[in-house]
Amino acid sequence: MIRLHLLLLTLVTSVIGPVFGQPVEQQEEQPAISEGAEAKSKLPLEQLQTFADVFYQIREGYVEEVDDSTLFEYAVKGMLEGLDPHSVYMTREAYSDLQTQTDGEFSGLGIEIGRRGSYIEIIAPIDGSPAAEAGLQSGDVILKLDDTSVKGLSTDEAVDLMRGPVGSSILLEIGRPGEAKPFEVTIIRDKIKIASVRSRLLAPHYGYLRIAQFGRSTGQEAGEAIQKLATDGPLRGLVIDLRNNPGGVLEASVAVADLFLDEGEVVYTKGRHPSAGDSYSATSGDALSGAPIVILINGGSASASEIVAGALQDRRRGIVMGTRSFGKGSVQTVLPISESRAVKLTTARYFTPNGRSIQAEGIVPDIVVERAQVTSVEGRRITEADLQGSLTGDGEANPQDEGAESESLANLRENDNQLYEAFTLLKGFTLLAGSVPAAPASSPAEVASRESTDD
């Protein structure tokens, strides 16, 4: 038992020592601490004795033999999983997967997951992924993977089950809020190539910027997309679509927000350790020169996407529209503990410029617009121009015709009502600001000479 205790103390020291990037003995000298603080910093020997006793009983009495290193790994996993849904113990494979995801390409189903109680919840499917094409949605709960129940599994264990060769299939049993019974979905695994940024014009001078996740180069890609959208002239407005964006690299979210903020704080973090506190500010320059922005969010918008939405909302730089976001307001830091092992540890909470913590609260939209199916009930109407022998107009073309609804916008109204509402709000801003020329003014004599008839 003495040897076991020494092993345990060695493990605890090796884990605690380098948590913030340097061994205990290499940290800078700190001021003297009080007796209470010193007592608190000591290792809990009674609890460690209990742990050692349980470890010994498992090693000696469990029905199957388990080697010491495996038991220690189980213990470390359990210690982290008991903290919060985002703190995990990472093997070499898990760390490699994290790196490839932030670089923008990996293999699998294409979903961001978290724990909901004993089960696994889908935070958001990735655009164009097998999961998105199969119809999986934010808020869906995974109950089974093939024949294996996910109840009680960690997110890493669930990810291991979802991995597999490209082209192989996996059967998911899904529980969906609002559905009376679970249903099954078969998904074919594939290589996931994340298009971090996509863009297009909704109408002349009205841009659409879709950010699917925040990778290392997202800020640069977003800036280049805006320049391309403005090729034929300055943008009058921009919709930034962050729906079902599960987040990603913190610095990338700051870079995106910085594109539209001329100065001031974007986000700040606070944690127990001094190195966990930081502040990020915008640099000079607004890529849109003050043109209005609408930011679309929903329940699948999490983490880095909430940073962007919260910063632009607090700084009154854009209108947030849609539904309340996911509420992941914590920062995870990957901390190596050996050449092949690391822990992803929640080290801080992040706050919007006005001091709001998003953790478990989310971003509340300025204008709530639920996703809905919109069908026109008016149909084709008869106008004066349809009447036989009607007079033609006499005068200049109506400048409002420039904003008349095209067929593509009519389709958008029926297929994505949230984006359509964001676009119409942008047009309203432009009209109020006088960016669209007003109709020619009429003289008092002309007004007085007009006659109005109703048939």
Verify whether residue 328 is a known catalytic residue. yes
Judge whether 276 and 269 are in contact, CB under 8 Å. yes
Q: Could you give the C-alpha distances from 353 to 38, 93, 247, 356, in angstroms and in order? A: 35, 37, 18, 7
160: which residues sit within 8 A by CB, 6+ positions away? none
CA dihedral 218, 224, 226, 229 (to 10 degrees): -130
Q: Which two tokens stand for residue 93?
A: 């494979």
Spatial distance between the Cα atoms of 20 and 41, rounded to a whole number of angstroms: 16
Position 203: which residue type? A
SS3 325: coil
Q: Looking at 138, 154, 196, 303, which residue is catalytic?
A: 303
Spatial distance between the Cα atoms of 436 and 95, rounded to a whole number of angstroms: 52
Q: What is the DSSP letter of 338?
A: S
Verify whether residue 303 is a known catalytic residue. yes
Q: Are strands 141-145 and 237-241 parallel, antiparallel or unpaired?
A: unpaired
Residue 373: Cβ within 10 Å count? 7
Chain centre to alpha carbon of residue 157: 22
- List b or e across 288-305, with b for residues whose CB sees 16 or more CB atoms inside 10 angstroms: beebbbbbbbbbbbbbbb
Q: Looking at 127, 144, 258, 328, which residue is catalytic?
A: 328
Spatial distance between the Cα atoms of 342 and 348, rounded to a whole number of angstroms: 18
177: which residues sit within 8 A by CB, 6+ positions away? 139
Residue with tokens 């805006």: 226
Judge whether 360 and 338 are in contact, CB under 8 Å. no
Nearest to 73 by CA among 45, 94, 44, 42: 94
Q: Which two tokens stand for residue 88?
A: 């995990």
Q: Looking at 140, 190, 258, 314, which residue is catalytic?
A: 314
Spatial distance between the Cα atoms of 264 and 4, rounded to a whole number of angstroms: 54
SS3 12: helix
Spatial distance between the Cα atoms of 409 and 425, rounded to a whole number of angstroms: 14
Judge whether 131 and 145 are in contact, CB under 8 Å. no
185: which residues sit within 8 A by CB, 6+ positions away? 134, 135, 136, 171, 172, 174
**Residues tagged active-site:** 303, 314, 328
